[in-house]
Structure 1
Amino acid sequence: MPRFKVYLDSSAISFLYADDAPDFQSVTRDFFENYSHNFDLFISQVVLREIDRTVDAALREALKRVVEEYPISILAEDEAEEVDDLAAAYLDAEVLPRSQIEDAYHVAYATVHEMDILLSWNFKHLANVNREVRIQEANRVRGYWKPLRIVSPLEVVSENDE
């Protein structure tokens, strides 16, 4: 099986502590504890800024520990202008709502850095087939041909893996 490059949005990390969503929390823990080593994991400065804005200090520190303790690489900012332009293009084309600028940046980072998968629990704005199709179309118009799958941790955790 190929080793996929996976971009984690902040929800893919924060659901480790989502006591109000125990099923998703359980799947997220399973992913990190049993499957994360099968992937090359990445985040961007956007994720780090979202973590830094976490109001609950204990939760903020726990989220930072996840980034430190798991094999998660932070993407370089060397493509920042390209990422900025692509995120703006998603918003201008209404691929994502203007209010979801950070989601646009997550997708732009994943696209520009040629990720295979963007992992998210954000079903409304990211991890749904309609949004994925619109993002793929917008990417092709701008010359990004590599398909980006946008899925939840449920889709990369398998009970049948041996």
Structure 2
Amino acid sequence: MARVYLDTSFFSTCVSKRTSPRSVGWRETSNEWWETQATRHVLYVSDEVVAELSDPDFDQGPTALAMLRGLHLLELNADVRGLAAILVREKLMPVPSVSGDAIHVAAATIHGMEYILTWNVRHLANPNKRTHLATVCLRLGLIPPQIVTPDLLMEADE
């Protein structure tokens, strides 16, 4: 069973009401992954996911938050915050380093996740960032997780 960190975009996509073809496709894929693949892995989130899904401007927040029940919670400790600051300084992640994408990647890396599951293809599941992320992490003695979209992890599981 792989250790998988689920970022906010996974949950928000599962409960999205958007009707564009891409949004509908991502929602269907996310829900299929949740229903058929989630039990094949050990799933983790962080307080950053909880905070982002708790945003009062996110109408589907309560539904998304309900999906977190029973998942493991990663601690956002000093090591996580330190790595997040490095990822921002190295221009791998957007500012601020105290929240958002940098925290997701740092938490998953520090806590030894094998995968980050995300639909954030701009900042996270971006193939152009893989080598740079690996270089920075390896320089620090860390192994970065593979950052993938649900459809890719579903294919890997088959």
* Same fold at TM > 0.5: yes
Name the structure 2 match of 1:38: 40
Choose which of 55, 58, 63 in structure 1 pairs with 2:57. Answer: 55
Name the structure 1 match of 2:115: 117
Divergent runs of 4+, >3 A: 158-161
Once the two structures are superposed, what CA deviation does each residue of 1:25-44 show, in whole Å capped at 9, x if it has no partner? 00000011111000000000
Once the two structures are superposed, what CA deviation does each residue of 1:68-127 show, in whole Å capped at 9, x if it has no partner? 1xx4211134xx000010000011111112257410000000000000001100000000
Q: Aligned in 2, Cα 1:38/1:47: closer, same or farther, shift over 3 Å?
A: same
Choose which of 77, 89, 92 in structure 2 pairs with 1:95. Answer: 92
Number of aligned positions between the proteins: 153
Equivalent position amino acid for 1:106 in 2 = H
- Cα shift at 1:156: 1.4
Q: Aligned in 2, Cα 1:36/1:65: closer, same or farther, shift over 3 Å?
A: same
Equivalent position amino acid for 2:72 in 1 = S
Alignment of 1:1-150 (within 5 A): 3-20=1-18, 21-57=23-59, 59-68=60-69, 71-77=70-76, 80-98=77-95, 101-144=99-142, 146-150=143-147
TM-score, with length taken from structure 1: 0.87
Equivalent position amino acid for 1:129 in 2 = P
Q: Aligned in 2, Cα 1:159/1:141: closer, same or farther, shift over 3 Å?
A: closer
TM-score, with length taken from structure 2: 0.89
- Cα shift at 1:54: 4.2
Equivalent position amino acid for 1:136 in 2 = A
- Cα shift at 1:60: 1.3
- Cα shift at 1:137: 1.1
Distance in 2 separating the partners of 1:95 and 1:104: 8
Alignment of 1:150-161 (within 5 A): 150-158=147-155, 161=158
Q: Is the 8 A contact 1:95 1:138 kept in 2?
A: no
Q: Is the 8 A contact 1:83 1:112 kept in 2?
A: yes
Q: Aligned in 2, Cα 1:142/1:49: closer, same or farther, shift over 3 Å?
A: same
Structure 2 residues not aligned, in runs of 5+: none
Structure 1 residues not aligned, in runs of 5+: none
